[in-house]
């Protein structure tokens, strides 16, 4: 079946998760943070994801904003920079992350081609609403789906079920796009056509299933989606 629906992970895929730390590092009087921000951003993201997996397997679900705060607290303490003012600033910046530069045009091209578009994210609804509004992409999305509806984080199967339930489509009509190799791999296992957006040139995760396509950014998504 041809693809009818393009679904995107949000954080790291549409929205630049390093933007909060990068912007803060450029602000006046943040020399100590500027010297360590790349490692802090990496630790923040790694712990944020690890905490979602641990909460999923231990049946201790919380919203994504909580694990985002928990990951930041770990990263700042590890760097010796756990101050309330810096924490508050970074969280404020994270709540309104910028989209990657190619995102608005890419989504508009998908809509012009007659495809449905949506987000499927671990993010809580208020986080996603703020990011979509900040990026100005709401008019090119048909749905923003949060795992809060099912009470478990990716890659639980019930999360991927939300796409078919909302869009009334079957898995092979979906092109699923994620910057997380593990997310793209398990979405492929579920039955979606999948793209791993591997911006950093990372190795393939050693998992039972692999994503079918690998791209370095999102610019090629419209051509791929319309030719599947």
Residue numbers annotated as active site: 9
Distance, in Å, from the CA atom of 206 to the CA atom of 191, rounded to the nearest integer, reads 18
CATH superfamily of 19-94: Putative phosphatase; domain 2 (1.10.150.240)
Distance, in Å, from the CA atom of 205 to the CA atom of 171, rounded to the nearest integer, reads 22
Indicate where the chain has its CATH 1.10.150.240 domain(s). 19-94
pTM of the model: 0.95
pLDDT average, residue stretch 122-145: 96
What are the pLDDT digits (tens) for 157-173? 999 999 999 999 999 99
Confidence of residue 1 (pLDDT cuts 50, 70, 90): confident
Whether pLDDT at 95 is above 90: yes
Indicate the average pLDDT of the chain: 97
CATH of 5-15+98-227, one of 3.90.1150.10, 3.40.50.1000, 3.50.50.60, 3.40.50.1950: 3.40.50.1000
Q: Which residues pair with 177 in a beta bridge?
A: 8, 195
pLDDT average, residue stretch 123-150: 96
Helix ranges, the chain (H): 19-25, 31-58, 64-79, 84-94, 103-112, 125-135, 157-167, 181-190, 221-227
What are the pLDDT digits (tens) for 29-63? 999 999 999 999 999 999 999 999 999 999 999 99
Indicate where the chain has its CATH 3.40.50.1000 domain(s). 5-15+98-227
Tell me what pLDDT residue 228 has: 87
Q: Is the CB of residue 178 less than 8 Å from the CB of residue 154? A: no
């Amino acid at each position: 079946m041809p693809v009818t629906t393009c679904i995107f992970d949000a954080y790291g895929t549409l929205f630049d998760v390093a933007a909060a730390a990068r912007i803060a590092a450029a602000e006046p009087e943040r020399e100590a943070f500027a010297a360590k921000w790349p490692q802090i951003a990496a630790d923040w993201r790694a712990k944020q994801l690890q905490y979602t997996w641990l909460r999923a397997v231990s049946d201790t679900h919380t919203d994504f904003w909580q694990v985002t705060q928990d990951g930041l607290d770990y990263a700042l303490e590890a760097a010796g920079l756990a101050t309330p003012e810096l924490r508050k600033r970074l969280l404020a910046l994270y709540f309104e992350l910028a989209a990657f530069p190619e995102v608005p045009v890419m989504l508009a091209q998908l809509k012009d081609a007659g495809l449905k578009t949506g987000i499927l994210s671990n993010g809580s609804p208020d986080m996603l609403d703020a990011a979509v509004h900040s990026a100005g992409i709401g008019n090119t999305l048909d749905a923003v789906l949060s795992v809060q509806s099912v009470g478990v984080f990716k890659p639980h199967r019930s999360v991927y079920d939300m796409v078919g339930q909302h869009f009334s489509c079957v898995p092979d009509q979906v092109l699923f796009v994620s910057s997380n190799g593990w997310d793209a791999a398990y979405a492929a296992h579920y039955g979606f056509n999948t793209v791993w957006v591997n911006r950093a040139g990372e190795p393939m995760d050693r998992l039972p299933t692999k994503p079918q396509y690998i791209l370095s950014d999102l610019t090629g998504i419209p051509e791929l989606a319309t030719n599947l």
